[in-house]
């Protein structure tokens, strides 16, 4: 029998709790496949966030630590400085990384910590029930901005890759999406490259993955995919913002 | 080793931690503990460890959370407002059974307060501090020598029971200089056994996870009760205190840290006058030396608790002596330091009053 | 023997280093010692004072609330420390900078023009050493030799000629009655 696909070794054989249409499952798989292909599973330590991915410490088949909301990059810093031979990644959502944990994000990037951050941007809070995220789009409804995000009241969505690209400490920054098979394949390349950036000792790497949350957007999984491609991508242009290999650093819009 | 050094308390604390095997330090500047990160910034790399000036106290404690999860001996330090910021992380460490070590070189509060030494963080230290049902092993040094010695003891207790441990000092102990000698053998971290929960390379073993959460029904209670067993053992085995001239005492002064030093001055004045005054100094604030105080309560007329806070430790003294004798209070606060003369004056009045009823039962 | 000392003056007058030097000298001399700086928030120009205890017995509190000796290096320090001095205590006044005189009659006062002593040695920054020399003579708590011996330990980066000047100022200070 020809097996065309199988569970990566870097994922545990457990049932995930994610909702139908949620992007976390795909993102987990991309991280796990990258670990497998780079052969680093047995020396990788992952940091699970607070948020829907809190249980990632049960899903990834490597040493894991779950810590306070937003502090992933600080925890990863402590791990990496004590275990420089290990590969350390922090997996974080938009509230975690760009709201409560913005200081830790920016400063770990500024220090050029040799860690990898996987940033899931789905423009909404998941686990707490659909509140406004720092990346919620203008006009987008959330349970704490029921009339839609009003810039006069709630300010503007934040572009993390652009922000971090100003810091000398960052070595690899790319924004990808998982709204189509082609984009998933591109996203995989980015995640793997981010890990490679760390393995080669180059410094801070972050991949921002535009993702879906149909449950909290109150739409179908298909409509959620459409929301990402039609509304999120224009606000959050895909592309490479920093590349340690000197690859195209201009933002490609597709 | 064995050389007498004239050292600042903060430097002694730092050097003591390094000699106890600490190889990771993260901290943030705040007076009056700045000498600690300054010292560690050169001493840590010299010892082959890592030092990070974190972007905040919050980041520092979370760096410790990650570093300690690798099984290394770690340290952070701060002063009162910064320790407040660290409480969330300390709670996570308690919940994840990580034996972190930290020090509070406390100052006057609340709020920004001032930068003088104070003991207003007693409740925060011994009653948990952060959220949730947990305890921290708390040692209160009374000299520069103890500032240097206590980190090692904190590591040993923290690792044995898998609880956070702290040194609660204050600005006076941090800033003062006294002679000290490091007499304990320097710990070689390479020779410490790697704990069976430490994160790192997982080759040849199952993956490990460090976490403080348990959402399945009933699971968190089981975890917490297991930890409570360890708390009980600590209370039974790890209590430390010092008594001076308590055997014949009518009145016993109870104080820790800098306050205890002032009490020693008052005791000297009292003894010179023939007054039978003892001094009881809790060294561990949690576990609190309840049993020893209760025993003492059977032999003395009264206690006088001396604090650089409005009356915090006195609650523990009262709970310990079970209202059997009066417990009086001499309190200075907000960075003021009690003097031997003032304490002497009050203890004369208390002695005059003699053995009366318990003050809180009256 | 117990000596509780307060040294007070402007920041930059060597108040803190004087205190550390006395404590170190006491330690080398086999005494029990402590040093405690009253630390302020400002980095420059404020008033500085410190407590030093040199004792043959155990040091209790490092914060000297009733000093046996006060060394007054500037004008504001006099008003602050005159009331604290023990009856019968010693007050050393830097008469180069302090014009006022104490009102108390139950204390011993020694006037010494510290800045002039230092200026004569062409080392204006070591006025504090003259005061310490004076302290040694009038208390007997420490000898000038003991303080001189501690100097290279405390001033680790000082050149030998600077240390020699310090010792000269100490000796000069010890001549004042």
CA distance C28 to chain B (A): 9
Best of B66, B91, B197, B212 to mutate (most A CBs within 10 Å, chain A) = B66
Domains held by chain A: number:
1
In a domain, A251, yes or no: no
C/A Cβ contact: 3+ pairs below 8 Å: no
- Domain extent at residue B115: 5-192+225-237
Same domain, residue pair B133 and B250: no
CB contact under 8 A, A71 and B89: yes
Query: Which chain C residues have a beta carbon less than 8 Å from that of B119?
Result: none
Same domain, residue pair B146 and B256: no
Express each pLDDT in B192-230 by its tens digit.
999 999 999 999 999 999 999 999 899 999 999 999 999
CA distance B264 to chain C (A): 6
**What residues contact C95, with CB distance under 8 A and at least 6 apart?**
C111, C112, C113, C114
DSSP of C21-77: HHHHHHHHTT-EEEEEEE--S-SSSSEEEEEEEEESS----SS-SS-SEEEE-SHHH
Q: Looking at per-residue confidence, does B359 or C174 come out higher?
A: C174
Same domain, residue pair B183 and B311: no
Q: How far apart are CA A232 and CA A238, in angstroms?
A: 10
In a domain, B360, yes or no: no
In a domain, B279, yes or no: yes
Query: Which chain A residues have a beta carbon less than 8 Å from that of B68?
Result: 78
Per-residue pLDDT at C42:
59
CATH number at residue B268: 3.40.50.920
Same domain, residue pair B164 and B309: no
In a domain, B293, yes or no: yes
Give chains near C: 3+ CB pairs under 8 A. Answer: B
CB contact under 8 A, B211 and A66: yes
**What residues contact B144, with CB distance under 8 A and at least 6 apart?**
B7, B8, B9, B12, B173, B176, B177, B178, B179, B180
Per-residue pLDDT at C117:
95
Per-residue pLDDT at A254:
41
Query: Which chain B residues have a beta carbon less than 8 Å from that of A52?
Result: none
Per-residue pLDDT at B357:
72
Query: Which chain A residues have a beta carbon less than 8 Å from that of B92?
Result: 67-68
CB contact under 8 A, B4 and C27: yes
- Domain extent at residue A126: 24-242
Per-residue pLDDT at A248:
56
Which residues of chain B, if any, have pLDDT below 70? 1-2, 360, 362
Task: Give the confidence band of C12 by pLDDT, cuts at 50, 70, 90.
Answer: confident
B5 token code pair: 């050094």
CATH number at residue A130: 3.40.50.970
Q: Is the pLDDT of residue A243 over 90?
A: yes
Express each pLDDT in A3-50 by its tens digit.
878 999 999 999 999 999 999 999 999 999 999 999 999 999 999 999
Same domain, residue pair B12 and B59: yes
Domains held by chain B: number:
2
What is the separation of C-alpha C60 from the centre of its chain, rounded to a whole number of angstroms?
Answer: 20
Best of C29, C61, C152 to mutate (most B CBs within 10 Å, chain B) = C61
C2-173 CATH pick, 3.40.920.10, 3.40.50.11540, 3.20.20.70, 2.40.50.140: 3.40.920.10
CB contact under 8 A, C60 and B265: yes
pTM assigned to the model: 0.94
Best of B5, B6, B35, B112 to mutate (most C CBs within 10 Å, chain C) = B6
Q: Beta-carbon neighbour count of residue B1 at 10 Å?
A: 9
Mean of pLDDT over chain A = 95
CA distance B222 to chain C (A): 47
C/B Cβ contact: 3+ pairs below 8 Å: yes
Least confident range from A3-7, A204-208, C45-49: namely C45-49
Express each pLDDT in B217-269 by its tens digit.
999 999 999 999 999 999 999 999 999 999 999 999 999 999 999 999 999 99
Express each pLDDT in C57-67 by its tens digit.
999 999 999 99
CB contact under 8 A, A45 and B200: yes
In a domain, A109, yes or no: yes
Q: How far apart are CA B170 and CA B14, in angstroms?
A: 15
Query: Which chain C residues have a beta carbon less than 8 Å from that of B339?
Result: 61, 63, 65-66
Q: Is the pLDDT of residue A251 over 60?
A: no
End-to-end CA distance of chain C: 22
CA distance A78 to chain B (A): 4
Same domain, residue pair B71 and B166: yes
Q: How far apart are CA B28 and CA B58, in angstroms?
A: 9
Same domain, residue pair B252 and B112: no
In a domain, A74, yes or no: yes
In a domain, A253, yes or no: no
Same domain, residue pair B47 and B133: yes
Give chains near B: 3+ CB pairs under 8 A. Answer: A, C
CATH number at residue B138: 3.40.50.970
**Residue of chain C minimizing CA distance to B114:** C41
């Amino acid at each position: 029998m020809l097996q065309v696909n199988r569970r990566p070794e870097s994922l545990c054989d457990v049932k995930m709790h994610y909702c139908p249409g949620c992007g976390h499952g795909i993102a987990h798989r991309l991280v796990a496949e990258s670990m497998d292909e780079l052969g680093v599973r047995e020396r990788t330590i992952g940091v699970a966030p607070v948020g829907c991915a809190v249980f990632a410490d049960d899903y990834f088949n490597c040493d894991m630590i779950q810590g306070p909301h937003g502090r992933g990059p600080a925890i990863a810093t402590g791990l990496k400085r004590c275990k420089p031979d290990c590969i350390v990644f922090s997996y974080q959502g938009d509230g975690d990384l760009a709201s409560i944990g913005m200081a830790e994000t920016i400063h770990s990037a500024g220090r050029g910590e040799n860690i990898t951050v996987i940033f899931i941007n789905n423009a909404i809070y998941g686990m707490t029930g659909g509140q406004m995220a720092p990346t919620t789009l203008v006009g987008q409804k959330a349970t704490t901005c029921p009339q839609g995000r009003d810039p006069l009241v709630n300010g503007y969505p934040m572009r993390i890759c652009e922000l971090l690209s100003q810091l000398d400490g960052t070595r690899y920054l790319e924004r990808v999406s998982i709204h189509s098979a082609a984009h998933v394949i591109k996203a995989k390349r980015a995640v793997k490259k981010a890990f490679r950036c760390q393995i080669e000792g180059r410094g801070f790497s972050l991949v921002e993955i535009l993702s879906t949350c149909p449950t909290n957007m109150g739409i179908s999984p298909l409509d959620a995919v459409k929301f990402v491609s039609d509304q999120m991508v224009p606000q959050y242009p895909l592309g490479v913002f920093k590349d340690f290999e000197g690859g195209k650093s201009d933002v490609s819009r597709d | 080793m064995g050389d007498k050094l004239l050292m600042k308390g903060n430097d002694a604390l730092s050097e003591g931690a390094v000699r106890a095997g600490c190889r990771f330090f993260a901290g943030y500047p705040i007076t009056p503990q700045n000498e600690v990160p300054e010292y560690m910034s050169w001493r840590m790399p010299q010892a082959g460890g890592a030092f990070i000036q974190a972007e905040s106290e919050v980041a520092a404690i979370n760096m410790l959370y990650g570093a300690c999860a690798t099984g290394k001996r770690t340290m952070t330090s701060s002063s009162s407002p910064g320790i407040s910021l660290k409480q969330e992380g300390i709670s996570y460490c308690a919940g994840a059974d990580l034996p972190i070590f930290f020090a509070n070189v406390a100052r006057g509060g609340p709020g920004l307060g001032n930068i003088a030494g104070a003991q207003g963080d007693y409740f925060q230290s011994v009653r948990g501090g952060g959220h949730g049902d947990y305890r921290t092993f708390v040692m209160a040094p009374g000299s520069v020598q103890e500032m240097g010695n206590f980190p090692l003891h904190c590591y040993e207790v923290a690792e044995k029971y898998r609880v956070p441990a702290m040194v609660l000092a204050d600005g006076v102990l941090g800033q003062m200089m006294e002679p000290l000698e490091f007499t304990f053998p320097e710990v070689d971290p390479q020779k410490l056994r790697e704990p069976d929960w430490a994160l790192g390379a997982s080759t040849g073993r199952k993956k490990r996870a460090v976490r403080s959460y348990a959402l399945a029904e009933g699971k968190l209670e089981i975890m917490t009760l297991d930890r409570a067993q360890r708390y009980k053992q600590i209370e039974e085995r790890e209590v430390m205190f010092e008594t001076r001239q308590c055997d014949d005492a009518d009145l016993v002064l109870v104080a820790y840290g800098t306050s205890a030093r002032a009490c020693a001055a008052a005791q000297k004045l009292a003894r010179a006058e023939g007054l039978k005054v003892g001094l009881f100094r809790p060294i561990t604030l949690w576990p609190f030396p309840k049993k020893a105080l209760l025993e003492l309560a059977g032999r003395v007329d009264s206690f006088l608790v001396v604090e650089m806070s409005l009356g915090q430790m006195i609650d523990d003294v009262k709970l310990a002596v079970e209202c059997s004798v009066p417990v009086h209070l001499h309190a200075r606060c907000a960075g003021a330091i009690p003097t031997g003369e003032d304490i002497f004056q009050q203890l004369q009045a208390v002695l005059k009053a003699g053995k009366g009823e318990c003050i809180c039962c009256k | 023997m117990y000596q509780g000392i307060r040294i007070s003056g402007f920041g930059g007058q060597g108040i803190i280093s004087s205190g550390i030097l006395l404590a170190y000298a006491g330690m080398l001399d086999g005494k029990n010692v402590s040093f405690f700086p009253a630390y302020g928030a400002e980095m420059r120009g404020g008033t500085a004072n410190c407590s030093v205890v040199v004792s043959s017995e155990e040091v209790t509190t490092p914060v000297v609330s009733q000093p046996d000796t006060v060394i007054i290096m500037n004008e504001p320090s006099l008003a602050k420390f005159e009331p604290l001095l023990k009856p019968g205590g010693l007050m050393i006044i830097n008469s180069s900078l302090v014009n006022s005189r104490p009102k108390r009659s139950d204390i011993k006062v020694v006037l010494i023009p510290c800045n002039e002593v230092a200026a004569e040695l062409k080392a204006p920054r070591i006025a504090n050493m003259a005061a310490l020399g004076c302290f040694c003579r009038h208390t007997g708590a420490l000898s000038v030799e003991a303080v001189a011996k501690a100097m290279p330990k405390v001033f680790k980066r000082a050149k030998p000629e600077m240390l020699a000047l310090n010792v000269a100022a100490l000796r000069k200070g010890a001549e004042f009655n």
